Structure 1
Amino acid sequence: MEKEDFYPNDRKLRSKTVLLFIFFIVPAFNSYGQCDNGTNFYPSATYTPAVGVWAPATASNYAGHVIKVNVKIGDVYQFSTCSGYGGVSASYNTELTLSQTDGTLLTYSDDYSGCGYQSYISWTATFTGVVHLHLNAINIHTHCSSNSITTQVMIFRSIANADFIWTGAVSVYWNNGGNWDQGGLLPTAANNCIIPYTLSNNPVVDAIAVCKDLLSAGSFTVMPNGQLNVNGKLTDSLGFINVSSG
């Protein structure tokens, strides 16, 4: 004899309860993408970044501040709380939001690759004017938080289509941005590359690399797994080009 279910409505109710619970829990895991600190400007003056040098707009920013930055169309701007870009690291979990003055989002960064809980933005200006950089903290899972912890946000400006000069400051590898003089950026097909005469850390190309014109007074090596695409002229002045075979 088939057993009768005396509580059919209870089963339906439990099923609906589980579904509702899942429905309300899932949105909590959505990613975040923008903070807005209003007009909490600090410093009060609009900052104009110098060309070719990492520097903060002020020595003391707090999470919750907004930094006003003058930008020029075509130039590349980097904003960082990560020691790998600018040499200064915040002591807390940061997020950076870059917006137009009317609040329109330009880009956002949180936990940038290789920077742990720190943030880094590289942005090419699409207009000449002023942008707002919003600095915030993440406390546990609460985004867009404020605090009173002194922080420096490092800023770097590169002229549009600037020449890239090899420094070898970090290693010998071409595709390590720390080896060029543009604040951590790598040359593109629009940038001329200059390799000065040097006795150490001559560049090694071990992946795909590009530049516009290449002027070499030093030596560089292209490894079997490397490829250097020069889209303009290659000028070798007193240097050596080594092509390594596998």
Structure 2
Amino acid sequence: MSRVHPSAVVEAGARVDPTARIGPFCVVGPEVTLGPGVELRSHVVVSGRTTIGAETVVFPFSVIGEIPQDLKFKGESTELVIGERNRIREHVTMNTGTEGGGGVTRIGDDGLFMAGCHIAHDAQIGNRCIIVNQVAIAGHCVLEDDVIVGGLSGVHQFVRIGRGAIIGAVTMVTNDVIPYGLVQAPRGVLDGLNLVGLKRRGVSRADISALRAAFRELSDGEGTFHQRAERLKAGTESDYVREIVDFVLAGTDRHFLTPG
């Protein structure tokens, strides 16, 4: 208990690792689990069936694990699972899931959630994602690994954003985004590939060239967007292009942002 500030409230039933730190004026609910090395800086509320993984730091005035902002929610028991080594900055909100959405909101490892962003019910956020200030991720969204969402952007419910994609600031994303895509403009437009991100990841020149060729085919080829993807599936040897093709051909509840 020496790592729990005297002004903090830790309700009976909470499971707190001995190495976790709970700062002044925090509130930890009875169904919360805090893993090794977790730190709640101050004035943090963690409620609901919420698990926070090792070495994650939550900054002041964040509210983690409150009930969904969904009128269909009727008080069912759902949860929020947060991975390891995340940085959750000031005034971030993350909600538990809903019965209709699978019951679990899930955050991966090594993410950065900047001040004021919101992660809604049943969202599935991958590893190493960066969610910039004041971003709103709506319910049921899926963000794969290494996604960056620029400040003041919004992602519509049920949208999927593929691995390594980047969303520019002040952008509204209403449809699925292919892996490694670059989306910008007030009403999001697929405007190219995230070439800076690909180079930072050490992707080979051959794969980047293959991705560029695939993007041109998706943009200008004959037939529908899905038909173009089917042709790419049959004719590529690049794992990165196959990843885009598999993403496009997978089941989805939204249309796609297509190259303009």
TM range (shorter): under 0.3
More helix by share: 2
Query: TM-score with structure 2 length normalisation?
Result: 0.27
Task: Tell which structure's C-alpha radius of gyration is larger.
Answer: 1
Instruction: Point out which structure has higher relative CO (alpha carbons under 8 A, 6+ apart).
Output: 1
Query: TM-score with structure 1 length normalisation?
Result: 0.28
